[in-house]
Amino acid sequence: MISEGGNAHLPLCVMICSIGPVDPFVRDQVAECVSCQCRLPCRFSPEMTTPAYAFDEKRQQYNSKLILRYLMDLNHRSLRFLAVTQLDLFVPILKYVFGLAQIEGQCAIISTYRLRPEYYGHAPNPALFMERVKKTALHELGHTMGLTHCRDRRCIMHSATTIEDTDVKRARFCPTCHEIFKWQLEQYVS
């Protein structure tokens, strides 16, 4: 167990929440991946509404920094909080992002919007789509556990600025990142 401010004990789990409508199968697959790869149980939180406050009229996208800031202000009653959305996300200095997390922060958000092969003019490929979703979820969760970008292009923690970067990665941590993740997680166990 970990304590928050020394008062409340938080369950050693990852809370997963949809922001706007998300296919329950996608949410379930993210939970299964996190449970298997990170050895952390997952729980589901009720769906949140589409965040109108984060919509940028000019870009026709949602500002992921504003959403993350909103999530960080909530009491999640979990070790980590992972939001999944179909909204197209951006940060002000980039055209888009697949996800966003604060290093060693409690919250992360991922978007499925640009992970579907159809977005790039290809035929639907549910297996490829789910592989991309899982990689993105693990990557952002890794950031919340203190991991930064890895130089190993096959590691889940390698930076992914294009979909090709995502496709090259494996859906797991390299040995070094795995050890750091494990060590960070052990810091929360008492």
Active site residues: 140
Residues 147, 184, 82, 132, CA torsion sign: positive
> Which strand (E) or helix (H) includes residue 62?
strand 61-63
The four Cα atoms 21, 25, 26, 32 give a dihedral, to 10 degrees, of: 140
Cβ-contact 59, 93 below 8 angstroms: no
The encoded tokens of residue 187 equal: 């810091």
3-state secondary structure of 125: coil
Distance of alpha carbon 184 from alpha carbon 79, whole angstroms = 12
Residue 133's nearest CA partner among 28, 15, 19 is: 28
> Which strand (E) or helix (H) includes residue 137?
helix 126-144
